[in-house]
Structure 1
Amino acid sequence: MPNELIWVLFALINFVMFTLMYKVFGKMGIFFWIVLATILANVQVVKIIPLFGLEASLGNILYGTIFLGTDVLNEIYGKKDAKKAVYLGFIVLFIFLIVMQFALWFAPHINDGAQTALETIFGFTPWIVLGSVTAFIVSQMFDVYIFQWIKKKLPDNKYLWIRNNGSTIVSQLIDTLIFVPIAFLLSGYLPFESVVGVFISTYLIKLLVAVLDTPFIYLIKKVKPIELK
């Protein structure tokens, strides 16, 4: 199965699971998803794949759903809850990356088979930490404020797609400008030419994710969460 087909399928599965989390758990489901996606996206990002003729890092779909999550919170519950989700994601990301650094410091047993794999994924984590936490907090806060600014200008529900895509287009550009050079260039993980390719592909793919999630934000706004007892 080609990567492009897997990517589209994976994107749809993520959006469906996101919607189900909101349906079952409401606002708390979105908070949980943002935490989960923040962790998994920063694991997947070290994998470089060929996609649509470009050199791309994996993790852009999951990371894109974080912006969908804050937009949903912003739209339905307001800026305060959206900001709370950003702070939660930031703290969880920081704790996760620090904890994994400590895991690498432990001397492995002679029969251990995981150390090498963990070092491959988290060995250059200091750069990932710097790039991730900086890009996350800056871009997500921009997204929250830009979304609210557009909503004040265009409050009607028919302009929800503009609020969703407009805020994401700007904030994802900021995120990519911060994260890619720090994580892949300053770390020495990729040569400059590859970093340029990853930057272009990363942003284009993030824009595609934003377009694909548009029908789901309209759907989610119509969904009434189940009241669990």
Structure 2
Amino acid sequence: MLDDPKERKYLILFGLYVGFWGMLQCLTVKLVPLDLAWLGLGTLAFSYGSFAHAFTFPCTDAAAEIWGAKRARMMVYMGTAVYIVCTVFLFLAVQAPPAEGWPLNDAYVALFQGGPRIILGSLLATLSAQLWDIYVFEWVKKRTGEKNLWLRNNVSTFGSQLLDTTIFCTIAFYGIIPNDVMPKLIIGSYLMKLLVAVIDTPIVYIVVYWVTGHWTSKGDIVEEETNDGDNETGATS
């Protein structure tokens, strides 16, 4: 497997994707302002975890384009497992007694204890949105063929980002933050993700070209190469 350059690149992409999942625990609880006064929306808020999380979608879209939906879903399942493991270890770290004289324990606990609703909301939202993104990506590709990678990338990402934002904000913050802040949080987070989604389109193209040498791919390149090899063997025989 590691002798195949394309498989090595898959592992690199896999590692980046899982790394973004691992960062979500640390970034999700941070809310930052988003000034949209120029759109007449005033200052909105978004979770900084949304910014990092948005970069997971070009990873799965590129994987679905090159290796197919099955390999892309494998990334999602492994990312989910890493998130759960990180949650468990952060919980244990928060519960562990601090060393005598260490002055930062209260701040550490406040930062990383993460309410159950935030953890559950982040997990369910990300898992649902990622699987939906892959499904829509493949659905569009089957109907448009190899061309228009930009179309399936954006159609799948725009919808899945809205799903992700709505599920997370509802589970994590409903009843906790004022009702008039909730729409601003959802809109702010979603607009930030849309901005990243527009930026990630050339990223997907670059990754596809980096792996295949072409700007689009038929998908499942590993299986195709195997079949070609079998055909060549059969022809030789």
Q: Does the pair score TM above 0.5? A: yes
For 1:224 and 1:178, the matched residues in 2 are separated by: 34
2:209 — aligned with what?
222
Alpha-carbon displacement from aligned partner over 1:122-145 (angstroms, at most 9, x marks no partner): 223312221011112111111111
- Normalised by the length of structure 2, the TM-score is 0.79
Could you list the runs of 5+ residues in structure 2 that have no partner in the other structure? Answer: 37-43, 213-237
Match of 1:162 in 2: 151
Q: How much has 1:97 moved relative to structure 2? A: 0.9
The one-letter code of the counterpart of 1:42 is: Q
Q: How far apart are residue 64 of structure 1 and its match? A: 0.9
The 8 Å contact of residues 79 and 148 in structure 1, kept in 2 or not, is answered as yes
| Displacement after TM superposition at 1:100 (Å) | 0.7
Cα offset, 1:25, TM superposition = 4.7
Unaligned 5+ runs, structure 1: 1-21
Name the structure 2 match of 1:7.
Answer: none
47, 52, 58: which one aligns with 1:57: 47
Q: Count residues in correspondence.
A: 201
CA deviations on 1:14-43 (whole Å, 9 max, x unpaired) are: xxxxxxxx9995101111111111121331
Indicate the percent of aligned positions where both proteins have the same amino acid. 35
Moved more, 105-114 or 196-205: 105-114
Q: Write the letter of the residue equivalent to 1:38.
A: W
| CA root-mean-square deviation | 2.0
Mapped to 1, the partners of 2:7 and 2:102 lie a distance apart of 40
Rg bigger for which structure? 2
Classify the secondary structure of the residue corresponding to 1:56: strand
For residue 183 of structure 2, the aligned residue among 170, 176, 196 is 196
**Offset at residue 161 of structure 1 (A):** 0.7
For structure 1, which segment, 145-154 or 107-116, has the greater mean C-alpha deviation from structure 2 after superposition?
A: 107-116
Which of 170, 173, 182 in structure 2 is aligned with 1:181?
Answer: 170
- 1:117 aligns with 107
Cα separation, partners in 2 of 1:176 and 1:117, compared to 1, 3 Å: same
Check if 1:209 corresponds to 2:199. no
Q: For the structure 1 residues 224 and 31, does the alpha-carbon distance in structure 2 shift closer, same or farther, using more than 3 Å as the test?
A: closer
Q: In the alignment, is the contact (CA less than 8 A) between 2:59 and 2:204 conserved in 1?
A: no
Instruction: Name 2:131's counterpart in structure 1.
Output: 141
8 Å contact kept, 1:94–1:129 = no
The TM-score, its normalising length taken from structure 1, stands at 0.81
